[in-house]
Structure 1
Amino acid sequence: MNILNNGLCKDERLNSKSTIEELFSGNSKSFSIYPLRVVFMPVEKKKNALASILISVPKKRFKRAVKRNKVKRQVREGYRKNKHELLNVLNEKENGLAIAFIYLSNEILPTNLIEETIKKILEKIKEKIQ
């Protein structure tokens, strides 16, 4: 498996209904770093992905799908660029992780601010799983 892959392949998307229900049922850890709330839990490692992510932008915050999709792209890009250190730790532990990013702000923030937040989030997750 290539950890240095800079893309975000289909296996890295969290789409298992049972895993998502388990993630939000209360058996997982969560914290907030504005403008994102993160919920994560250890799962069995998939064949091609160490971590799978879900990005949620509530319709309550942005009525227009165009704006919701823009925020999702910003979060996905921030994660894609900065996921490598987290994946290295998961690879050493031979463990998988399910992560949900929930957007909390009422306005679209600059991409670099979201990327910095994601860097902090990934560092904090790394500390908590070690």
Structure 2
Amino acid sequence: MAASKQHTLKKQERLKSRKQLEQLFKEAPSFHAGMLKVYHRLQEPAQQEPLLFGVGVGTRHFKKAVHRNRIKRLIREAYRLQKQALKEQLQTKQQTLCIFFIYTGKELPLYEPLAEKTALALRKLQEIYQ
């Protein structure tokens, strides 16, 4: 069976630039979707990808890197599987959106509730950028 191309998270889609991240945290609006805090900001459409995504977990509640990495992996997976509708919406408008999810929960999450909150956040972003 051939792998589906739409459910990928390529290197070009990752939000890595220190300059972009600093701008995002300083100027961008944010909202909470359950245990996720979501920063979002439209950018000049110079990027080839319509969505740039990053994820972070604080060290206050999760001292072990193993736990932080697991949470980030779960969030990335939930995002990867659900981003398509928002991506298509941005492509039709020729916009580039930077998104950064920060996990604010205090316990190690299960995948299902995290996937629900990720879906909620992506739907809210779709409404904002209609």
Tell me the TM-score normalized by structure 1. 0.93
Q: 1:109 Cα deviation (Å)?
A: 1.2
**d(CA) in 2 for partners of 1:33 and 1:61?**
19
Secondary structure of the residue aligned to 1:31 is strand
Q: Does 1:70 align with 2:70?
A: yes
The amino acid of 1:15's aligned partner reads K
Task: Show structure 1 runs of 5+ residues with no match.
Answer: none
The amino acid of 1:73's aligned partner reads R
Q: 1:127 Cα deviation (Å)?
A: 0.3
Following TM superposition, the consecutive aligned residue runs of length 4 or more in structure 1 with deviations greater than 2 angstroms are: none
Equivalent residue for 1:6? 7
**d(CA) in 2 for partners of 1:65 and 1:112?**
22
The amino acid of 2:11's aligned partner reads K
Secondary structure of the residue aligned to 2:101 is strand
Equivalent residue for 1:81? 81
Q: 1:5 Cα deviation (Å)?
A: 2.2
Tell me the TM-score normalized by structure 2. 0.93
Alignment of structure 1 residues 50-129 onto 2, 5 Å: 50-129=50-129
Q: Say how many residue pairs are matched.
A: 125
> Root-mean-square deviation (CA), in Å?
0.9
Q: Deviations over 1:71-121 (max 9, x none)?
A: 000000000000000001101110000001000011111101100111110
Task: Show structure 2 runs of 5+ residues with no match.
Answer: none
Secondary structure of the residue aligned to 1:6 is coil
Identity over the aligned pairs, expressed in percent? 34
Q: Deviations over 1:27-49 (max 9, x none)?
A: 212100111000000012322x2
Q: 1:50 Cα deviation (Å)?
A: 1.0
Q: Deviations over 1:42-73 (max 9, x none)?
A: 012322x2111110100112000000000000
The amino acid of 1:90's aligned partner reads L
Secondary structure of the residue aligned to 2:12 is helix
Q: 1:16 Cα deviation (Å)?
A: 1.0
Equivalent residue for 1:41? 41
**d(CA) in 1 for partners of 2:122 and 2:29?**
13
**d(CA) in 1 for partners of 2:83 and 2:60?**
29
